[in-house]
Structure 1
């Protein structure tokens, strides 16, 4: 008769069924289903969990984090390059850095509730590791790395289109993306006159208001923008005005 040792599942590196079911929930919430589930598990496995389960039968997420960092930077770079044709190399670099920095990655991870799925050692758990910013940022990068290996760059881009890029488009990074100043510089270089912004519409309840702004050059409308604040609406109006001016310049050439 063969005697099965207690804890055999952990010794074989297999996660308990309860933990696996939690990852099934995560996949349903994301509407992303991994072909290789072990990549998903690894993306959420912290080194403290590996250290607590001897004989190195589990693999932590540090290598996936390394890969995800590179995939994220490439994907964001391509998006910004195509989205903002008028931005200089320096401006693109500054905006990309704001998007992929730790505080931003923590926001993305928290909005997806990644923290509750992380596999932690007991010590790390007790010291609040599940809410530690560096850990959450690392998990987001690890997930991107795992997704890239499992399903390729197109799926990563689709994921970022849902989670990251909408924030760029509504002005979440407007502190490093000042289109109003850029538009002002364009107008000054060509001595074309004075810019004026005005709010032309407000929609929705007070707690969820949408503003519509337009920018005028010598009473001629150059662009219209929308945003959750007057500032965001004006920034988008300026961005759209720059696109319009650029197109006009190309047509004249």
Structure 2
């Protein structure tokens, strides 16, 4: 490189170090971290040039969050760690981090339409009682908000010579309070399906559009439970599921009460069947997974239970359930009914 260019580069670096851009200074204050290379933070805050940093930041955040959950929650299984990691660094979650710390105004951009989207989203977030990790009440998070948080994380990661612990210490302060196993809540649609499947009910989400607004209805066994509306269909469905859960889980819910007794009986069915067989000196019941139904995100299972009596070999098939252990309980309850008729 030409010596003159080296001198100019050095002067620019020293100038940025001692006289950083106002947005850089403000960002450093928010982060509680002083950059050795302020140009990295400038790049992260510049929309047209931070794509590479976004990519690295996404990977670094996922790795740091995984490491934290693994080391601090030794009892968590792999699937639970993955769920909690996704909840903490999802686009919706990171977008709310950007809003809470007022990061977007520090970005260098020339996109009035995007400014309007972010402004509307910010107003919607301010009305939320708590962080909505799966989506807001009225508006989906503009992706640029999560992108800038990821880019900033990558800038810190590179600035500290790729020290993941240093990056995590800074970023964790932005993410607080973290979503833990104790505070985590399943996706409303998942909770609704599980609740209804345990009670043998079918859930449907018929959708229609009125102008720019999507209207999603929740039908449980054909009975209308709730509606959700929004400009994005995904948010409308989310709202509908939330409203349905509030109604179905309330003390005055009439639709599921008829099934509560059955669910309670299923919870104790495996133990009762075990005791029934043991008292008669029969071999222990054997459970088998017979069938998987539905797509991966909404899968149900059917199990059978096999009981060898003194003179017979009995088989009962349970109802489909969202978890294998619940499908086994359903089969056990049916077997209890059968052996109760035959041997009591």
TM class by shorter chain equals 0.5 to 0.7
2:34 is paired with a residue whose SS is coil
- CA deviations 1:63-88 (Å, max 9, x no partner) are 00000001000000001111211111
Q: CA deviation at 1:164?
A: 2.2
Matches within 5 A, 1:48-197: 60-124=49-113, 127-128=116-117, 133-151=142-160, 152-169=163-180, 172-175=183-186
The CA distance in 1 between the partners of 2:185 and 2:50, in whole Å, is 32
Task: Give the 3 Å change call, closer, same or farther, for CA 19–129 of structure 1 in structure 2.
Answer: farther
Instruction: Report how many residues are paired.
Output: 153
Task: Give the 3 Å change call, closer, same or farther, for CA 108–45 of structure 1 in structure 2.
Answer: same
Larger fraction in helix? 1
The CA distance in 2 between the partners of 1:159 and 1:171, in whole Å, is 23
Larger Rg: 2
Q: Is the 8 A contact 2:87 2:179 kept in 1?
A: no
Q: CA deviation at 1:172?
A: 4.9
Task: Give the 3 Å change call, closer, same or farther, for CA 99–29 of structure 1 in structure 2.
Answer: closer
The TM-score, its normalising length taken from structure 1, stands at 0.53
Q: Is the 8 A contact 2:88 2:178 kept in 1?
A: no
Task: Give the 3 Å change call, closer, same or farther, for CA 173–40 of structure 1 in structure 2.
Answer: same
1:166 is paired with a residue whose SS is coil
Task: Give the 3 Å change call, closer, same or farther, for CA 141–78 of structure 1 in structure 2.
Answer: same
Task: Give the 3 Å change call, closer, same or farther, for CA 126–107 of structure 1 in structure 2.
Answer: closer
2:76 is paired with a residue whose SS is coil
Matches within 5 A, 1:224-239: none
Gap regions ≥5 residues in structure 2: 1-11, 122-140, 188-267, 272-344
Q: CA deviation at 1:126?
A: 5.6
Give the aligned CA root-mean-square deviation in angstroms.
Answer: 3.1
Q: CA deviation at 1:111?
A: 1.7
Q: Is the 8 A contact 2:117 2:142 kept in 1?
A: no
Q: CA deviation at 1:168?
A: 2.3
The CA distance in 1 between the partners of 2:158 and 2:37, in whole Å, is 9
